[in-house]
Amino acid sequence: MRMVPMDEFDPYTAKWDYVWLDGELIACVYRYDPPSGKEFRPWDVRTRMWHAPDPRPLYNLPVLMKAHTVILVEGEKCADALIGAGIVATTAMNGTKAPVDKTDWSAPQEQRCADLARPRCAGLGLRRERCTRLRGRGLPVR
């Protein structure tokens, strides 16, 4: 029997699934919109706890592994907008606040990556760090 995650913010307003290459569920990220402002909570399926898995997978993993070009964006909502338009996109779990060192960047193997973080957003430093990490693996990044 699967345990359904519950917390003080139910009901959630959005949910994004992170899956392995074979489609097995790794984690879910839930968005809540309480009066105090939006909150994101990762649910680790393996441990059945409210925390991000270690390491943190990239979003849309099965599709990005088959793509020639991948667009790296700030969050799941942005990725889904591009995916809905037929563009292969991904994000790190926690978007602009994602710790680069806790994210599994091994997924892109031969893809060209374009990082679309907004120039004035809080994630610009993270963007530079992500690009450096991907370039260090020999991947072309724009």
Q: Could you read off the pLDDT of 4-19 as tens digits, one per residue?
A: 555 666 689 999 999 9
- Predicted local confidence at residue 1, as pLDDT: 46
Model pTM above 0.85: no
Comparing CA positions, the residue from 135, 129, 105 lying closest to residue 117 is 129
Q: Is residue 83 part of a domain?
A: yes
**Residues of the domain holding 85:** 61-136
Q: Is residue 129 part of a domain?
A: yes
Residue with the bigger pLDDT between 86 and 127: it is 86
**Under 8 Å CB-to-CB from 24, ≥6 apart: which residues?**
none
Cα 117–chain centre separation: 13
Whole-Å CA distances, 51 to 18, 48, 98, 124: 13, 9, 13, 24
Euclidean distance between CA atoms 45 and 28, whole angstroms: 7
Mean pLDDT, the chain, rounded, equals 80
Q: Is residue 21 part of a domain?
A: no
Q: Is residue 43 part of a domain?
A: no
Q: How many residues does the chain have?
A: 142
Q: Is residue 56 part of a domain?
A: no
Kindly report the backbone phi and psi dihedral angles of residue 120, in degrees, each rounded to the nearest multiple of 5, phi listed first.
-105, 10
Per the structure, how many domains does the chain have? 1
